[in-house]
Chains A and B, each alone.
Chain A
C-alpha cells in the first residue's frame, strides 16, 4: 500500500513520485510463483511428458527435443511471470524495470531448478515406479544428461537459475522487442512441433521445397529453418507492434461507409480459402478438420444455450447422441429393430424432430432450476441417455454395446453423388456450419436473442419485463439440441457406425471448454476455440493422454485469469471487469461534472 505523505508535513510534495511511489516487484510473490513453478516442472517430468517415447523426443529444432523444451520453458516463463511488475493503479508512477525484476526471475528459477534437482536425487536413489508409474529409467537418464546424479542435480539447479534470470531479464527489454522475441519463439515452437502437418500442407500447396528447406526429415526444423522462422516472425511482430497494427485498428481504419463492402470482400476471400482447404490439408487432415467442424457445430449450439441464455448444460452430449442414433436408425440397414434405410438427407427431418423432442424433454423439468442445479441435472440426463443406449433393455432398438453399424455415406440428392472421401465430406460439413454461424448471428440480434440474454442477466426482471421465460428457455434448449443433433448425424455417417461409448460426459466437457476458452457468446471465439482445442489435439495425437488434463487446467486458468475467453464478446469483457469499468465510469463522471460546472 502506498504511504500518502511522510510525517514531516513541512516537506513539500515536490513530485508525483513522492505522492504515488511506484510499487516495486513483489519478491514474496516471486517465491510463491517459484514454488508453483517447481511443482509444475516436477509434475511435467513425473507425468511422463518429458521422457515418454514419441512424446518427449519429438524434435522441434535441430536437436532440441520437446521434452527438454517444455521442462526448461517452465522456469523461463514462470521466471518472467514472477518478475512481472504489480498492476498499476491509476495515478501511480509506472514501475521502471530494474535489477529487482531480474532478482525475482532468479528466485523463481532457483526454486524450479532446486525442485527438479531434488526430484532427480530422490528418484535416482529410490525406485518410485511402483507409485509414480512414469518415473522410468529413461526419465532419470534424461534428467541426468549422462552425468552422475550429483553433477546432474547441479546442472538442473544452474540451468533453472539461468533460465529464470533470462525470463526476469526480459522485462528490461523494451516491450516491443519482448513481444517480437516471444512471438518468434512461439512460432518456431509451433512450426517445429507441427512438422508432419506443415510438411503435408506445404506439399499439397506445391511448395514441398519449402518444407524440405525448413525441416530436417523427421527431426524438426533445421537450424537454418529455425532461425529463418524466428527472424521472420520476430520481424513481423516488431513491425506490427511498431506500427501499432491490430485487427481492431485495421477495422477502424476502413471508413464507415465502406465497411460493408470490406466485409463482403473479406468474406469472399475467406470463402475461397475455405473451399481450398481440403486440397491443402489432404485426406488425413481433412478428416481432422471434419471432426473439428462437427465439434464446432455442437459448440455453436451450446453457445446459444450457455452463452446467450445462460443455461449451463452439462449433458449436451445427450443431444449429440440423439442425433447420431436417430440418423443411424433411420439410415442404416444394420439397425436392429426398425430400419427404413433412408438416405442421410431424407433422415434429417427425423433427426431434427427427435432433437427438438429431446430438447423439450430435458428442458421442461429444469425450467425452474437455476445455475449449478441445472448443470448437475442436465449432466444426469446426459448419463441417463448413455446408460439407456448401452443397456440390454434397449438393445433391440439401439444394439447396446455393439451399437449400430453400416451407417451409409451421404449421397447428394439430385446428383446422386456418394460422398466417400473426407475431403468431400468437408464441404457438406461446411454447409451445415455456414448455416449454424448464420443462424447464430441472426438469433443473437433477434427478439428471441434479446430475451435469452435478458434471462441470462436477470431471470426475474426478464419475466417482469414481459419475456415469456418458459418459451424462451425451451427454444434455447431446442435450438441447442438441433445443432448438436446435426453434428451427431454427421458424426454417425463420418464414422460409419455409432457406439454408446462415444457419448460420455467428456464430450460435453470438451464442448464447454471450447466455448468458454474461445469466449462465451462470441461466435469468432467459438470458432477459434474449436480449431485450437479440438483440431490441434487431433493433429498432435501423441498428446492424447494429456488432452483432458490440459482441458481441466485450461478451465481453471481461464476462470481465474480471463473468464471472458480469448475472443470475448465486448459486453462480457465489461461485465467481468466491472471494477475497472467502474473506475473508468467514475473518472468520466468526474470529468463530466467538471465540464458542466465549468460551463
Chain B
C-alpha cells in the first residue's frame, strides 16, 4: 500500500516570527531603559545625595536578596528543584527575630547590650530557619526524590502556603513591630556617603555570612561533598558521599542564610508578618536566576544587581518615561527583570546552566 507522497506546503516562517518578536521586545526594552534614564538624569530631579541613598538602599536590599538566593541556588544545584517554600523559611527567621527581640526588650539586656541582643536574635533566627528547612526537606521533599519534576515543585507550593497560614494561625496574622534598638539609630559617614546604621549592619552581616559560606563550600570536606553531589549525585554516592546527609546539609546551610536574611529584613523594616516571605522569596529567586541558578557567586551578584535595579530602576527609567508614582511599580520592575532574564539570557550573568535544560 505505497502511498503517493503528497507535496507538502511548508511553513518555514514560525521561528523567524517568534525570534524577530523577541528581538523587537529586546530592542524596545533597551531603548526604554536608555531613554528613560537619560530623561531622568538630565532633568536633575533627584540630587546626587538622593541617588547615593538609593544606591545604598539597593545594596542593602540586594544583600538580603543574595542571602535568600543562596538557598534557592544551592538546592537547585544539588536537586534541580525550585524550593518554592524557601521564602517562608526566610519569613520564619524574621518571625523568630521578632519574638526574640520582643522578649529581650522586656529584659534589661536589650538596653544594656544592644549588639549582643541583636546577635542573639540573629543566631536564634538562623537556628529556627535551619530546622524548618531541614524538616521540610525530610518530610515533604525527600519522599518525592526522583519523581517527575513538577511533583516536588507543587509540593513546595503547598508547603509554602501551609507554612504561611500555619504561622498566621499560630502566631496571629497582624503585623509584628520589632522594638527600636539604640544601636541602630542614626547614621554613619562611610567613604564619603551617609549610610543609616541598619543598612550598614545588613551589608556587613551579609558580607560576613557569604565569606563563611565560601569557606564552608570551598575549604571543608562537607563543602566538597556538596559540590560532588551537585556535579553528579549518583557518582558521588558511589564514591562514598552520604547523599542524603549532604542534601540535608545543603538545606540547612540555605536555611541558615535565609534565617539571617529574615532577621536582617525584620531589623531594617522594623516589622514582619506571615505574608512577608512571599514577595522577597520570589525576588530572591529572580536574583538566583539573574546570577545563574546553581551558581553560588552568581546568587550574590544576582542579589546585588536585583537590589540595585529595583531601587534605581523606577526612579531612573520609569519616571523618565513619564510614569506617575513609579515607586509603586518597584515590584513589577523586579518581575519584569525576571521575565526578561529568562527570555533573553536564561543562563544568567555567571551561570552556564540552562533554564531550558531537561530533567
Contact = CB atoms under 8 A, between A and B. Distances in A.
A–B: direct contact at CB < 8 Å? yes
Interface in B72-121: 81-82, 99, 102
A559 B144 contact: yes
B154 A559 contact: yes
Contact of A563 (B151, B170, B346): B151
Instruction: Name the residue in A364, A368, A552 with the highest tally of chain B Cβ atoms < 10 Å from its Cβ.
Output: A552
Nearest to A551: B161
Given A131-B171, A470-B18, A556 B324 contact: no
Nearest to B159: A556
A249 B82 CA distance: 42
Of listed B335, B346, B356, residue having the most chain A CB within 10 A? B335
A556 B153 contact: no
A334 B359 CA distance: 50
Interface in A378-415: 379-381, 383-384, 387-388, 390-393, 395
Interface residues of A, number: 61
B350 interface: no
B9 to A, nearest CB: 13
B339 A365 contact: yes
Interface stretch (B190-198, B216-224, B325-333): B325-333
B152 A559 contact: yes
Determine which residue in B21, B323, B339, B356 has the highest number of CB atoms from chain A within 10 A of its CB, and name it: B339
Nearest to B149: A371
B5 interface: no
Nearest to A131: B99
Interface stretch (A3-11, A43-51, A65-73, A198-206): A43-51
Contacts of B163: 552
A115 to B, nearest CB: 15
A190 interface: no
A559 B158 contact: yes
Contacts of A134: 169-170, 172
Interface in A339-387: 364-373, 375-377, 379-381, 383-384, 387
Given A381-B339, A391-B329, A552 B356 contact: no
Given A365-B339, A552-B158, A552-B159, A43 B102 contact: no
Contacts of A328: none
A284 interface: no
B342 A373 contact: yes
A558 B343 CA distance: 32
Nearest to A557: B158
A376 B285 contact: yes
Given A377-B342, A384-B336, A393-B325, A546 B169 contact: yes
Given A375-B153, A384-B335, A393 B329 contact: yes
A356 to B, nearest CB: 16
Q: Which of A46, A49, A380, A554 has the most CB atoms of chain B within a 10 A radius of its CB?
A: A380
Contacts of B147: 563
A548 B161 contact: yes
A390 B14 contact: no
A371 B150 contact: yes
Contacts of A314: 157
Count chain B CB atoms within 10 A of each CB in A133, A372, A468 and give the residue with the most: A372
B324 A392 contact: yes
B6 interface: no
Interface in B130-163: 140, 143-144, 147, 149-155, 157-163
Contact of A372 (B18, B82, B140, B324): B82
Contacts of B359: 371
Interface in A551-597: 551-556, 558-560, 563
B290 interface: no
Contacts of B150: 310, 312, 371-372
Given A392-B328, A552-B161, A545 B168 contact: yes
A223 to B, nearest CB: 33
Contacts, number: 173
Interface residues of B, number: 62
Contacts of B173: 545
Given A370-B358, A384-B335, A560-B143, A546 B328 contact: no
B309 interface: no
A471 interface: yes
A376 B169 contact: no
B282 A380 contact: yes
A509 B154 CA distance: 10
B165 interface: yes
Interface in A128-159: 130-134
Contact of B162 (A391, A460, A553, A563): A553
Contacts of B170: 43, 46-47, 132-134
A117 interface: no
Nearest to A385: B332
A133 B339 contact: no
Nearest to A310: B150
A133 B172 contact: yes
A512 interface: yes
A132 B326 CA distance: 39
A372 B282 CA distance: 13
A556 B140 contact: yes
B162 A552 contact: yes
B276 interface: no
B201 interface: no
B223 to A, nearest CB: 26
B63 interface: no
A560 B144 contact: yes
A327 interface: no
A76 B335 CA distance: 47
Contact of A471 (B14, B144, B153): B14
B61 interface: no
Contact of A549 (B18, B144, B169, B282): B169
B166 interface: yes
A580 to B, nearest CB: 14
Contacts of B323: 393
Contacts of A552: 158-166
Nearest to A365: B343
B28 interface: no
Contacts of A49: 169
A513 B31 CA distance: 41
A281 to B, nearest CB: 29
Contacts of A395: 324
A367 B356 CA distance: 10
Given A380-B282, A384-B332, A133 B171 contact: yes
B285 to A, nearest CB: 6
6 contacts: A43-B166, A370-B355, A387-B331, A390-B328, A552-B160, A555-B157
The 10 closest A-B pairs by CB, nearest first: A555-B158, A552-B162, A552-B161, A133-B172, A47-B169, A549-B165, A380-B335, A392-B325, A559-B155, A556-B158
Interface of B: 14-15, 18, 21-22, 25, 81-82, 99, 102, 140, 143-144, 147, 149-155, 157-166, 168-173, 278, 282, 285-286, 289, 323-326, 328-329, 331-332, 335-336, 338-339, 342-343, 346, 355-359
Given A371-B149, A556-B155, 14 more contacts: A370-B358, A371-B153, A372-B81, A380-B339, A383-B335, A387-B328, A390-B328, A393-B324, A471-B14, A509-B161, A552-B160, A552-B165, A552-B166, A559-B158
